[in-house]
Structure 1
Amino acid sequence: AAPGTAADGGRGSIHILSQSSATEEKRPQFGTRFLTDPRQVFQHNAWDNVEWTEEQEAAAKSKVQENSQPLPLEKQEDFDSRANEYWNDFYTIHENRFFKDRHWLFTEFPELAPAYLHDQRANPDSAGIHHSPQSSLDPSGDVARLNLTDFPGSSATYRILEVGCGVGNTVFPILKTNNDPGLFVYCCDFSSTAVELVKTNPEYDAGRCFAFVRDLSDDSAAYPVPDGSLDVVVLIFVLSALHPDKMRASVGRLARLLKPGGVMLLRDYGRYDMAQLRFKKGRCLSENFYVRGDGTRVYFFTQDELHDIFTEAGLEKVQNMVDRRLQVNRGKQLTMYRVWIQCKYWRKPEEETTTT
């Protein structure tokens, strides 16, 4: 897989949409806690959908421009060629102590939750993503269509792939909450160290999960599943780790793995996120693309850029939204503006494609 940061909007230090307490377990999707009185900013740890002033956006653009002088080409090429080394070092240093499970996953991406599969079986139109007749809900038709029965999870009725799985922050919550016998989860990462940490986790179940090493940027490499076999592909803070020149081909390759009716889910860094504004001079590789102190890289997207990438891959938009959040450190009386983009794009069923 391409390098998976396995870090939620801040390399593990900040939970994107924390639902760690029982009282927050039924929290609706983000966008419900608004800051209407600036004097109350330190009453909560975070505020949703914070509107930026023109001055604030101008200051962010100025800051990015100030630190946007790219490194020499030979240094850029060095970071590209040694990307695997840097990510292996990252996971060797941090192992699994650095990360928390992403409990917000099932709120923002119900396609990963047990109730979604149950609802789809009861009413295929209930969840908004309409599966084709030969989707995962019909395993016999699925296997017949693929004409393959010897790949990992070939007998499954619902298949999820996470690309850039890190140490399993998405995979293990899915496996723990979903005991549906028809579920099979694939996960891959660029880092062999990360994949080994997943495989040695006591919750790894080879009967329900298959972890493997994969360089997402190599769009010619084979996957352990045939094209048209996956219901869901998950990209969480991973596409931003690729070189911008390799993003379109990589997403195009993943899109071919989706069944008609399958969906690709993405959560990643948005333009002018706090992490981008914190980069100093000498860390810029190219426009909106940076290298961290540990050698790992990160890109900051706009909605339009991601829309173009997904539609060029033959997918259609279900969701493309910006999550602007104000994180608050009440102890230090500090405010931090985060910008993330969340997308859902799907492969339209063939019969719908021909009739529209």
Structure 2
Amino acid sequence: MDRMQSVWVVDDEPNGFEVIELLLRREGYRLTYFDSGIEALNRLESSPPDVPLPDVILLDVMMPELDGIETCRRVKANPNWQPIPVIMVTALDSKEDLARSLESGADDFLTKPVNGLELRARVRSMLRIKQQYDALQATLNLRRDLSKLVVEDLRQPMSTVLLGSHLLLQSNLEPQDRQRAELVYAAGSEIDAVINGLVRLAKMESGRLVLNRVEVDLCELAEVVIANFQPIADAKQIQLLLELSEQRRWVAIDTNLFHRLLDNLIANAIQSSPTGSTITVQIELPDRSESVRHALVRVVDQGSSLSKDLQQSILSQYESGTLTCGTSQIGLSLAFCKMVAEAHGGKITIEQNPPQGSVVTVEI
């Protein structure tokens, strides 16, 4: 049985609620009244995770203490509340006031005195949008759950492949057979690394990942990663440059996660860079007296420049874009980098590198 759709009415004047209740009484909604924006925000804060949030909020603009515009801004600033459609109800009719309402994140507005036909139509419209969002979110959650199941199911057979190929390498094999076993083991190790990365990604999404922070020389870690990628860069005739900070001090990070972050950033840069170009990896460690950040990693390439839209969307999972002619880039690795940076309390940004190329900056 479908649950009753919930509409919150926030208005410091009880008469305002009574009017809306009268106009919506035949719609079958569950109406809840709050006499201030603060009370509504407190209810949102205290709502248990298993209690559904309101489907629509009707929010009066002119209220004491906390007006409707600021209340709406706070609702939309919270990622958990952001999908809730907000309809501003105002006696103001100036374009500036309406613009302020929309800039605060409101999805629609009504002017007083409220017309019943218009009120019902706008509430129904917002409810349709919310239902579409909920259905999309349910689909994404189902896909995510199925992906987790597939990843977990792959772990056991892949462990068997790795163990079997490892045992073969310990036996007396002919040179040709040994070469084949080494290829199987190397490929299995790569797949196993991807599986483990997806598991970590899922844990970061759910907030269950616990960072194993240790004090690390970030410059030394970057030198190791660059050395690992040097043969690949040489094969593409790409020059890898490493610019290290003059300040050599230790940083508390999860070494394994950050190693993979550097791997992904450099692999993406190599993949997107043309032959004969240069990739520069910069490590900045500010003086201890600086409290703005602990470390900064910047990867500068000379590949195809990214549009502003792609710069943002490529940080989302499964987003892809053509970075070089005939080369597609899946956004999963950069989404992983974004989650690692945020798990360390930092951020990742992508900018253009005039006249050509991109600059990826990780700040922690």
- State the TM-score bracket (shorter-chain normalisation): under 0.3
Greater percentage in helix: 2
TM-score by length of 2: 0.22
Select the structure of larger CA radius of gyration: 2
TM-score by length of 1: 0.22
The structure, 1 or 2, with the larger RCO (C-alpha pairs under 8 Å, 6+ apart) is: 1
